[in-house]
A = this chain, B = another copy of it.
């Protein structure tokens, strides 16, 4: 590839790049772990970065866990991580509603218990999670009772997503002053063995189509997630590295926020895809080309141990 984009990060360059930053943001799945197993060497990398005085943060689009659940999982896998260093979309969505929207009212929530808990933690009430089965006929659906205190519809990952929930969200969103927020647009949740299940993006598309409105999303590649970290910890984008396995979320977030970007090949995206973005000549796609790539974040180990 021409220019200085998408350079293999190894040898002396590793130390040079690490010396140029004070903070490192990591995506989680496909970067520091896959499913329930840590990427070999990842805990040492994280722990050594901290020992070298770097601020380390975790930014994940997955809305099915609270910060605490993530910190507990990380601890059990050998990562020395505090809850405050984890930014999942369940938490960020609650922060967005609280600090940006200054929401006064309840949330109609398509989401998980984790989202319920993160909303509660910032003092936002919601209408309850879980199944909502269909009853009656079309006219009953159209006149389903609405909670007059609801001022926002929030869509995250919801395994109980149903026609009735879609309908209820639409009836709220017909009210033009009802806010509409989504956690993220990931279309699939990748699992081990090349398998996957439908992601929040599918549910959000259905609600957007019904509502004939676009949701504001807080997850990567939207800059809110970085803003959230930066405002709490005083991160300077010029001296920050974003590490991720997806070009369309992680790397694009980094580009959108002026961070240095590093693609790791232990997850979804490939160098060939990055090259195709570069060669497209399309400026939007160029934002998905990382500055550097590694086979695994374990490639950072020698420089940190040296």
Please give the residue numbers on chain A whose beta carbons come within 8 Å of chain B beta carbons, in ascending order. 131, 133-134, 138-139, 141-143, 158-163, 166-167, 170, 174, 187-189, 191-192, 195-199, 201-203, 205-207, 209-210, 212
**Are A209 and B187 CB-contacts (below 8 A) given A133-B131, A160-B134?**
yes
Measured CA separation A174–B197 after assembly (Å): 11
* Interface pairs (23), CB distance under 8 Å: A134-B159, A139-B191, A142-B191, A142-B195, A142-B196, A158-B163, A162-B162, A162-B163, A163-B203, A166-B202, A167-B197, A167-B198, A170-B196, A170-B198, A174-B196, A187-B210, A187-B212, A198-B206, A199-B210, A202-B207, A203-B206, A205-B206, A206-B206
How far is A189 from B142 in the complex, measured between Cα atoms in Å?
Answer: 10
Compute how far the CA of A167 lies from the CA of B160 in the bound complex, rounded to whole angstroms: 12
CB-CB under 8 A from A202, the residues of chain B are 166, 206-207, 209-210
Chain B residues lying within 8 Å of A197, measured Cβ to Cβ, are: 138, 141-142, 167, 170
C-alpha gap A162/B203 in the complex (Å) = 10
CB-CB < 8 A to A205: which residues of B? 205-206, 209
Q: Which of these, B143, B170, B189, contacts A138 with CB under 8 Å?
A: B189
Task: Identify the closest chain B residue to A135 (Cβ).
Answer: B159
Q: Name which residue of chain B comes closest to A157, CB basis.
A: B163
Contact B163 A160, beta carbon cutoff 8 Å: yes
Residues in chain B near residue A207, CB distance under 8 A: 202
A195 touches B163 (CB 8 A): no
CB contacts (< 8 Å) of A162 on chain B: these are 160-163
Provide the bound-state CA to CA distance between A136 and B192, in Å. 16
Task: For A198, give the chain B residue with the smallest CB separation.
Answer: B210
Write out the residue numbers on chain B whose beta carbons fall within 8 Å of the beta carbon of A174. 196
Give every chain B residue within 8 A of A131 (Cβ-Cβ).
133
For the complex of A and B, list the 8 residue pairs with the smallest distance between their C-beta atoms, beginning with the closest: A198-B210, A142-B195, A206-B206, A161-B163, A202-B209, A202-B210, A202-B206, A205-B209
Distance (whole angstroms) from the CB of A187 to the closest CB of chain B: 5
CB distance from A60 to the nearest CB of B (A): 15
Most buried by B among A134, A192, A206: A206
Which residues does chain B contribute within 8 Å of A134, judged by CB atoms? 159-160
Residues of B near A195 (CB, < 8 A) are 139, 142-143
Q: Which residues of B contact A166 (CB under 8 A)?
A: 161, 198, 202
CA of A201 to CA of B205, assembled, Å: 10
A167 to B174, CA, bound (A): 28
Complex Cα gap A192–B137 (Å): 13
Q: Which residues on B sit within 8 Å (CB–CB) of A191? A: 138-139, 142
